[in-house]
Amino acid sequence: MSTLCRAFLVNKAKILQSASSVLVRAGQNNYSESGPQSLIGRDFLTLKDFTPAEIKQLLWTAKDLKTRIKLQKEIVRPLIGKSIAMIFQKRSTRTRLSTETGMTLLGGHAAFLGPDDIHLGVNESVKDSARVLTRMCDLILARVYSQKDLDDLAEESSAPVISGLSDLYHPLQILADFLTLQEHFGYLRGLKIAWVGDGNNITHSLMMGCGKLGIDLSVATPRGYECDPKVTQDMINLASKNDMQFHTTNDPLEAVYRANVIVTDTWISMGQEEEKQKRLNDFAGYQVTRKMLKEVHNDWVFLHCLPRKPEEVDDDIFYDKHSIVWQEAENRKWTVMAVMLHLLTDYTPASYIPKFTRGE
Ligand code: CP
Ligand code: NVA
């Protein structure tokens, strides 16, 4: 069978599985007007592939799990007997730990496969590795250099594939950011988010998330470090559909003006270490400081996906009471748990769906 034909059959199986779950849930009536969102069998590679209702469903489930497990001390083990293979071609603290501990909490098992532990890309092709992994595991999470490797893995895998970061996107991070903002402000649509820094994988996922949920976004990058043009065009299309503000600039002060949320990330992403000196020079004026934030909204908060270097944000802001980066880091766990749970089961949150729009 040709690769194309096989890929079609695999995808078809995923689609059929998903469609039947929608039918099963259609009889239930305990959902909000956004309706039941079955994600069984889907890949989680970019927020671009998800509807606003599906993204809200993941955030709702994440909050529900956090409440049930952390606050109410419930034992929630819907994934007993399930396993996830975690492929890491790059370092990780949060993505690895949140997935590993999250899968354990839900009753399943996570296997860590670092760059020296697996043949993928060295001794074995993506295609062959994907086929073997899916014979043994129910899910695959992969952190890779190139988004194409993730797309290839997803095409060859009959198990859902979750992005753990690529050069283009980091969707798990943005789910955690949105859960954190929703917990803090009580809504998402109605906020203005300002990005100050590199036009990188985090920015791209932030754009897709804001575009889908209609959250105003202003992005400041130095000249030459703007976002990927295709992702920017996708964002422009989403913004025009969603009646929201999207703005790009090379002036950080313009981006942060009246913003509720200031976000930044490292100026030197993994794999860009050789460009360090040039980037440090080119990002002059981009360090987030109190002086930069003079004209932000008075209820502002600061987010950073971590790991953080002092050059992109000084200690004064990073350790300020407006910085909610530790809550953001913790929320990586509840959000990846929601993703794993929804790709494998139809989960019904016990709590009411949270508010997503100011004044809703
Ligand atoms: N934010 C994030 O993805 O962190 P890690 O690189 O530690 O996984
Ligand atoms: N932009 C950073 C994010 C790390 C979580 C990187 O790709 O290294």
Provide residues with CB under 6 Å of ligand 2.
165, 200-202, 265-266, 269-270, 305
**93 CA to middle of ligand 2, Å?**
11
Three-class SS state of 262: strand
**Residue 29 pLDDT greater than 90, yes or no:** no
**Percent of the residues in the chain that have a pLDDT greater than 90, as a whole number:** 83
Tell me which ligand sits closest to the C-alpha of residue 270.
Answer: 2
Whether 211 is in a domain gets the answer: yes
Whether 210 is in a domain gets the answer: yes
- The tokens describing 260, both together, are 């509720």
pLDDT by residue (tens digit) across 150-159? 999 999 999 9
Size of the chain in residues? 360
**Residue 196 pLDDT greater than 90, yes or no:** yes
DSSP one-letter code for 295: T
Interval 236-251 mean pLDDT: 96
**173 CA to middle of ligand 2, Å?**
10
Whether 279 is in a domain gets the answer: yes
Whether 239 is in a domain gets the answer: yes
Domain count along the chain = 1
SS (H, E, C) 318-348: HCCCCECHHHHHHHHHHHHHHHHHHHHCCCC
Whether 89 is in a domain gets the answer: no
Probe target for ligand 2 pocket from 270, 274, 311, with the most ligand atoms within 8 Å of CB: 270
Interval 59-75 mean pLDDT: 97
Note the helical H segments in 186-251. Answer: 201-213, 229-242
Whether 117 is in a domain gets the answer: no
Q: Whose CA is nearest to atom 2 of ligand 1?
A: 94
| Close Cβ partners of 36 (under 8 Å, ≥ 6 residues apart) | 22, 25, 26, 28, 346
CATH of the domain at 188: 3.40.50.1370
| Close Cβ partners of 357 (under 8 Å, ≥ 6 residues apart) | 187, 188, 189, 190, 214
Q: What's the mean pLDDT when you consider all of the chain?
A: 90
Question: How far is the C-alpha of 22 from the C-alpha of 36, rounded, in Å?
Answer: 7
Question: How far is the C-alpha of 136 from the C-alpha of 64, rounded, in Å?
Answer: 29
- Element spanning 163, H or E: strand 161-163
pLDDT by residue (tens digit) across 69-127? 999 999 999 999 999 999 999 999 999 999 999 999 999 999 999 988 888 777 888 88
**177 CA to middle of ligand 1, Å?**
13
pLDDT band at 34 (very low <50, low <70, confident <90, very high): low
- Element spanning 282, H or E: helix 276-282
pLDDT band at 32 (very low <50, low <70, confident <90, very high): very low
Question: How far is the C-alpha of 22 from the C-alpha of 259, rounded, in Å?
Answer: 39
Which residues carry out catalysis?
305
Range of the domain at 241: 173-328
Q: Whose CA is nearest to atom 1 of ligand 2?
A: 269
**Bridge partners for 86 per DSSP:** 112, 141
Question: How far is the C-alpha of 258 from the C-alpha of 40, rounded, in Å?
Answer: 40
Q: Whose CA is nearest to atom 6 of ligand 2?
A: 269
| pTM of the predicted model as reported, rounded to 2 decimal places | 0.90
**271 CA to middle of ligand 2, Å?**
9
